[in-house]
Structure 1
Amino acid sequence: MQLQFDESAPLYQQIAAQLEEMIFTGGFTEGSQIPSTTQLSAQLHINPATVLKGMNQLVSKGLVEKRRGRGMFVAPGAQDKIMQARKDSFYNDYIKRLLVEAHKLGITKEHLLELIKRGENDGTITH
């Protein structure tokens, strides 16, 4: 497992975000065990408390569950939770701003739909 870090956020947040991404993309499937805090801290050369703090963020989101004496496992429904959270974030981060800007520009709902279709047809979106 390879995690990449930068200066954009605290390490524990980056650990949580990258593990969440791996759960979302199927790198860790629901019910599967994820590496222990000790394994990750040794592999990444990071303080175990930092790794644990990141793991605990995933536990608090209900994405990972601790099984006493057995380790950390991807919780049932974790991918669906991540998908829903990302959809909510997409709406709040992009759609609301898009609608505000479209309103400022006098773009109607119909014209906005035309622009979306244009984006689909001009190769902006690839399938």
Structure 2
Amino acid sequence: MNGSFDSGKPLFLQIRDRIEDQIVNGQLREHEQIPSTNQLVHFYKINHITVSKGINLLVDSGVVYKKRGIGLFVAEGARDQLLTQRKSAFAEQYVYPMLQEAGKLGVTEEDLLQMIREYKGM
């Protein structure tokens, strides 16, 4: 885990995102325990309420579940759920605006594919 944060985004969202990243990257697997709130508080040296708020977002979305008295665990299907959400967000944030701009510039689908191949090969 990296201890630095981006100042442009609320900390609780960054906590959520970091745990989600670990799930997507396979560092945390289904039914595996995630770091406790106290562990995250000590590691990041931030407020307990901030960490709890980020973790509660994960619980509310069904990505992690609580075992009372034991801890928090990655839910079954969490990785697939996150991948689906992120692909949709990627399309909305990047692909759609790119296609709009390409249309304004008269860039064809073939041109776009060629650009992607060139940049991917870098």
Q: TM-score, normalised by structure 2?
A: 0.88
Query: For structure 1, which segment, 71-80 or 39-48, has the greater mean C-alpha deviation from structure 2 after superposition?
Result: 39-48
Written as runs of structure 1 = structure 2, the 5 A alignment for 1:37-76 is: 37-76=37-76
Written as runs of structure 1 = structure 2, the 5 A alignment for 1:13-32 is: 13-32=13-32
Question: Quick check: 2:3–2:43 contact (8 Å CA) kept in 1?
Answer: no
Query: How many corresponding residue pairs?
Result: 122
Does residue 1:115 correspond to 2:112, yes or no? yes
Q: 1: CA distance between counterparts of 2:115 and 2:13?
A: 37
The Cα shift of 1:118 comes to: 4.5
- Matched AA of 1:93: Q
Q: Partner of 1:79 in structure 2? A: 79
Q: 2: CA distance between counterparts of 1:2 and 1:82?
A: 21
* Aligned-pair Cα RMSD in Å: 1.8
Runs of 4+ in 1 over 2 A off after TM superposition: 1-4
Which has the greater radius of gyration? Answer: 1
Q: 1: CA distance between counterparts of 2:104 and 2:34?
A: 47
Structure 1 stretches lacking a partner, 5+ long: none
